[in-house]
Each structure stands twice: as structure tokens, then as C-alpha cells.
């Protein structure tokens, strides 16, 4: 997901604390104050396409408002590296940035052209229809010979995948046929996302007992060590970095659920976007680890 409000980033910030179970911001009226944390007033960015437009605006503002950057430079070429949900972000950002470049060229809008030199996607979720059947396959048949759950659980995932009409893959196909710009269409895609995540992907979390990013590790993975967060929250560390908010490694739950409610996870256009990138001659690297369960 779009990680505003994670690490040291913020939309707004205020004294408060984090919910110990879900990582949500709790203000001073809800819980004792333990630090200064980021929060988000709204979650209007709830699809990858909207995130692409927002990212373009942020980069434009960065390039045009900082006086130390050379204003005579009319274009920028850069490399984009993404991971996990970046399988959505990478292709969509490229496609949107290219559209904006064309609009700048023909005088429709003003701005700095942003040219891609390469795109790297690490463990990316690009197309759920293609990738989701391999969650259970990997859980029981992987490089390391680890069988994360038994045959009965595996059979359940296959039923959840292929059950006609209500299975994960049929639900995705309904999303493909729906109009995602409408609330009804988004509800169809959300149902598909829920079915695939709850009954195919998440079975591993309930029964696997193995690491999400490294199946060789236990689910309660000690890597990286927790003292990293303690170090980043030292006053001396924050003073050296010039920040005034507590560091948090949580994903932003508000943004996560906003994307979940539109069904963005199972949208189908990112494979087409990736094809367009390849057709333009941009170098694309797809990297998938042989010990990683999650995309």
C-alpha cells in the first residue's frame, strides 16, 4: 500500500500512541501519549491509479519548488524500484507518467517530463488471477522441501480457488467484467479480493507456522531484530536525522482498508501496463525469491 504515515513519513502529526495490535494512531483522548506520531485526515487515494496521479504531483512539486535544483533542466530520467504491491504501482506509475509526458509535449499541461530508464519489481503482485493459485502450491511444494500445512488444508484452498461461481478465480473474473468506477463494481472486486485473501492466501498464516517473507524462518520471524525501532526512536537518532515524529514499521491501516474497499488488489490492468513498458524498450527486472511466500 501507499506508505504515507509509515517510518518517519507523515500527512499530519500529533501527540498520541499506536494501537499495539493494529498499528492505528490513537490520539491523546483515546490512550496515553507515548510519542509524536503521523496520522492521516482522509484516505481519498484508494486505488493504484489515484496513487499514480498523486505521486506525479508530488514529484512535480519537488522538482519545481526547490530553488537549489536547476530550473533549466526540462526532463528527468530515473529508475524506479518497487516491491510487493509495487507490482501494481510500478506498471501503473509508468503508464500514467508516460501519459503526462505526452500531455506536456503537446502543450496540454505544464510540468517536467519524467522518463523511466528501468523498472524493477521485487516479489510483486501484478496479476492476482495468474498468481493466486501458486500460494498453496508454494506452501506445500517449494525449494526447501517444507510442507507448511497438511493435505486437508491444501484441499480447502483448492476448493476456495476453483469452486464454480463463488471461488476466488470466478470472483476475480466477475471483477474483470464489472465497472470499477462505480460503487457496485468496486464491491464486486472487494468481494473477490476478500475471497482470495481470506480463503487462499491467509490459510498459510493460520496453519503454516512459517515466515511470510522467508519460509525457512518461523512465523514470529526475529529478522530484522526489534532493536532497530528502539534505535530509530532515540532522541539522539531523531535529532541527527532532523525528524520530530516517532518511527513506526507498521503499514498504514487506514490506507490499507481504503484500497481494500475498492477491490484494487484484484484489478487487472497492471499486466497490460507492464506490456506497454516492455514495448517502449524500458528495461524491466522481475525478481522473486525462492523462499518468499508473499508477493
147 with 214, same domain: the answer is yes
Range of the domain at 29: 1-41+226-264
Q: How many domains does the chain have?
A: 3
| pTM higher than 0.75 | yes
29 with 52, same domain: the answer is no
Asked which of 200, 223, 246 is the last residue of a domain, the reply is: 223
Determine the Cα–Cα distance for residues 252 and 16; give it in Å rounded to an integer: 16
Determine the pLDDT at residue 2.
44
123 with 138, same domain: the answer is no
Q: Contact at 8 Å (CB) between 179 and 185?
A: yes
Torsion of CA 64, 65, 66, 71, to 10 degrees: 40
Nearest by Cα to 69 from 112, 99, 116: 112
Distances in Å between the alpha carbon of 130 and those of 123, 135, 173, 228, 268?
A: 14, 11, 12, 36, 10
Strand partners, 285: 120
136 with 201, same domain: the answer is yes
Which mean pLDDT values do the consecutive 10-residue runs of the chain (295 residues) have? 61 69 71 70 77 87 72 73 92 92 91 88 94 97 96 97 96 94 92 95 95 90 78 89 78 75 91 89 92 89
Determine the pLDDT at residue 142.
95
Determine the pLDDT at residue 10.
65
146 with 217, same domain: the answer is yes
Determine the Cα–Cα distance for residues 100 and 109; give it in Å rounded to an integer: 8
Determine the Cα–Cα distance for residues 122 and 9; give it in Å rounded to an integer: 22
182 with 237, same domain: the answer is no
Determine the pLDDT at residue 224.
72
98 with 145, same domain: the answer is no
193 with 239, same domain: the answer is no
Determine the Cα–Cα distance for residues 210 and 202; give it in Å rounded to an integer: 12
Asked which of 191, 208, 223 is the last residue of a domain, the reply is: 223
160 with 198, same domain: the answer is yes
Strand partners, 116: 78
32 with 68, same domain: the answer is no
Determine the pLDDT at residue 150.
97
138 with 214, same domain: the answer is yes
Q: How many CB atoms lie within 10 A of CB 216?
A: 12
Determine the pLDDT at residue 81.
92
Amino acid at each position: 500500500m501507499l506508505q504515507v504515515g509509515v517510518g518517519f513519513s507523515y500527512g499530519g502529526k500529533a501527540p498520541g500512541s499506536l494501537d499495539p495490535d493494529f498499528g492505528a494512531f490513537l490520539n491523546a483522548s483515546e490512550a496515553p501519549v507515548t510519542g509524536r506520531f503521523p496520522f492521516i485526515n482522509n484516505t481519498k487515494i484508494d486505488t493504484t491509479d489515484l496513487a499514480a496521479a498523486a505521486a506525479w504531483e508530488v514529484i512535480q512539486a519537488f522538482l519545481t519548488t526547490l530553488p537549489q535544483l536547476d530550473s533549466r533542466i526540462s526532463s528527468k530520467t530515473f529508475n524506479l524500484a518497487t516491491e510487493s504491491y509495487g507490482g501494481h504501482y510500478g506498471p501503473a506509475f509508468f503508464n500514467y507518467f508516460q501519459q503526462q509526458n505526452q500531455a506536456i509535449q503537446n502543450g496540454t499541461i505544464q510540468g517536467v517530463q519524467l522518463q523511466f530508464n528501468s523498472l524493477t519489481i521485487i516479489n510483486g503482485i501484478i496479476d492476482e488471477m495468474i498468481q493466486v493459485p501458486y500460494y498453496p502450491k508454494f506452501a506445500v511444494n517449494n525449494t526447501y522441501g517444507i510442507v507448511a500445512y497438511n493435505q486437508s488444508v491444501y484441499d480447502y484452498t483448492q476448493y476456495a480457488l476453483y469452486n464454480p461461481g463463488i471461488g476466488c478465480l470466478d470472483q476475480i473474473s466477475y471483477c474483470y467484467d464489472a465497472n470499477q468506477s462505480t460503487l457496485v463494481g468496486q464491491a464486486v472486486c472487494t468481494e473477490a479480493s476478500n475471497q482470495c485473501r481470506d480463503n487462499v492466501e491467509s490459510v498459510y498464516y493460520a496453519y503454516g507456522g512459517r515466515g511470510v517473507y522467508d519460509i525457512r524462518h518461523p512465523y514470529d520471524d526475529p529478522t530484522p531484530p526489534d532493536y532497530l525501532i528502539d534505535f530509530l526512536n532515540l532522541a539522539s537518532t531523531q535529532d541527527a536525522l532532523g525528524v520530530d515524529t516517532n518511527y513506526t514499521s507498521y503499514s498504514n491501516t487506514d490506507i490499507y482498508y481504503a484500497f481494500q474497499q475498492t477491490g484494487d488488489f484484484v484489478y487487472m490492468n497492471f499486466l497490460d501496463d507492464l506490456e506497454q513498458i516492455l514495448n517502449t524498450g524500458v528495461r524491466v527486472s522481475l525478481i522473486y525469491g525462492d523462499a518468499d511466500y508473499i508477493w
